[in-house]
Amino acid sequence: MTVRRATSGDVDVVSALYRRFATDVPPAPFDTIEGELAQVAELLGTGIAFLAEDGDGVATGFALARQRAPGFGTLTDLYVVPDARHSGVATALVREVLSAFRELGIEHLDLDVQASNGVARSLYARWGLHEEVIVMTADVADLDAHLGREDPPSFGSAHVQSDDLTAVETAVRQFVPRLPGGSHGSVVAAPRNGWIAVYDDVCDRDPEMLARLGRELADRLGAVCVQLGVEREDVVRMVVYEHGRIVDEYLSVPEYYGPLPPGDVVGLEANPTVVARLTGADPSEVRRIARTGVSPADLQPPRELLSALAAALGIEGAEHGWDDARSIPGAVKIDRA
């Protein structure tokens, strides 16, 4: 394998490789192939261009680059045919680009890569490149339609491991009025299987407020409290509190709200051992049900997942929101203006 400077005389060879690139990682990151090939021809004449060839002189890859500002260079294109990958061709091409950059006094290199091109991103990361600017795209019509919609509703409830209905009711009466948002009321359901369910208008709509309720009830009552709910009709969340402290947390799609460090992703996967110790659930059932996915489509419908998870914990009524909970027989209704 050899790497040499590419010139305007190589335009047909490099253009053919570029057409292969355009179909290799769909969707193509440009509007028309003709416009891209015109830029390729320009770079072959005025930029920094290298061509890799095998022992028979057959082109196996190319690299195109340019100086975009004093001291700064951009690797505009890098492509290696599939049969020649993992053989050092890309590395050899980029080494030549770096040598050319040094001759021009270029100290910094950047490049663009599609988020869907995982192979290229992994390679660049191994070379030492890191993400500095993330460009996000959307169709204008789709974005306008999305901004015109409200977020899908959430619902959830807190479940206290107790049979003392009076104590739970008192804690709710003392704490819930302090929550912002103008709650229309709370519902405290009678004990079922050793769990007392608490529903609140504000907490039903706002998972953050539900988390405050769960933590406060666990702290005030010195008990285990489990927060369960479906957020934005897409993902299931479970938080287990003990004496006001979070001891386990589960989100069915850990990166639903955005990318997280690897440790945080793992932290949002249910710990069956901890859940079993505090709730009496069968750890194998928790492990089977509380799976995580990259997107909601990877999992069963969220309401079904919530019901299965609650059943594994021995909790009844998790499928109810505040509106439905008001019709639970024997429930204590706490109304506020």
Is pTM beyond 0.95? Reply is no
pLDDT attached to residue 132: 82
Signed CA dihedral, 100, 106, 112, 113: sign only: positive
Express each pLDDT in 316-333 by its tens digit: 999 988 888 888 888 888
> Counting Cβ atoms within 10 Å, is residue 200 exposed (0-12), middle (13-18) or buried (19+)?
buried
Contact 286, 315 (CB under 8 A): no
Helix, strand and coil in the chain, % to nearest 5: 40, 25, 35
Q: How many CA atoms lie within 13 A of 300 on its CB side?
A: 11
Helices (H), strands (E): how many in the chain?
Answer: 13, 12
pLDDT at 177: 75
Q: Which residues of the chain have pLDDT under 70?
A: 25-31, 146, 148-149, 180-183, 336-337
pLDDT on residue 157: 95
Q: Kindly report the backbone phi and psi dihedral angles of residue 167, in degrees, each rounded to the nearest multiple of 5, phi listed first.
A: -65, -40
pLDDT value, residue 181:
61
pLDDT, tens digit, 9 for 90 and up, residues 57-67: 999 999 999 99
pLDDT score for 223: 94
Task: Determine how β-strand 245-251 pairs with β-strand 235-242.
Answer: antiparallel
Task: List all residues 6 or more positions away from 27 whose beta carbon is below 8 Å from its beta carbon.
Answer: none
H helical segments located in 105-244 = 118-127, 140-147, 165-175, 201-205, 207-221
Contacts of 265 (CB under 8 A, 6+ apart): 254, 255
